[in-house]
Amino acid sequence: LLFATAFASTALASSMGRNTDTLTGCFTREKLEKDLESSDEDVKTIAFVDIDNFKSINDKFGHDKGDFVLVKFVQIMMSESVKIYRLGGDEFLITSSLATEKLYKKLVYKTENFKYETKKTLGHSVTISCGIISVKEFSQTEINRADQMMYKIKRTSKNLVKVLDNSNEDSLKDL
């Protein structure tokens, strides 16, 4: 009986833990998949974020400082108007019911705060690359568009928050 109770507790904790990333406290990829299946998600804007040069942060400062960077990123970006999902390593998806322009302005401001906070701790500003799109439907296709946009930003530069110009799929802009 003790084994069965311990097993049930572990199974329950495990199923609950799959929705929340144990390091950062944000949502997981598994939770994202559940939210994609749900029709009650009121998502108007998606931002795909990658922390620039994250591997070099771990290599130079150690994994504990890398963990600090991930946790600090989520703490700074978190608000009532967004959901943050850790997709893996240093990649995050931010969804919001905010209009694209409002989310853009919020992320630009919070990115500056993130750079300031990481510089205080590491003596080095950590930057992000972020692609933002407005969506009519919350779907994997739209997430893939935001992901492609973020990689386009990383290939041309880094340390940028850009919005996809819906009138021209190849054009990125500031608002």
Our CA dihedral for 19, 161, 129, 67, rounded to 10 degrees, sits at: -50
Task: Report the first-to-last Cα separation within the chain, whole angstroms.
Answer: 61
pLDDT of residue 169: 52
pTM of the entire predicted model? 0.83
Q: What 3-state DSSP class applies to 159?
A: coil
Cβ-contact 80, 136 below 8 angstroms:
no
pLDDT in tens, 78-91: 999 999 999 999 99
Q: Which pLDDT does position 12 carry in this prediction?
A: 43
The CA distance from 117 to 59, in Å, is 20
Q: How far apart are CA 143 and CA 156, in angstroms?
A: 20
Q: How far apart are CA 15 and CA 76, in angstroms?
A: 27
Query: What distance in Å separates the CA atoms of residue 104 and residue 11, rounded to the nearest whole number?
Result: 39
What is the share, in percent, of the chain residues with pLDDT greater than 90?
65
> 5: pLDDT confidence band, cut at 50, 70 and 90?
very low
Q: pLDDT tens-digit profile of 155-170?
A: 888 887 888 766 445 5
Taking the C-alpha atoms of residue 118 and residue 132, their distance in angstroms, rounded to an integer, is: 23
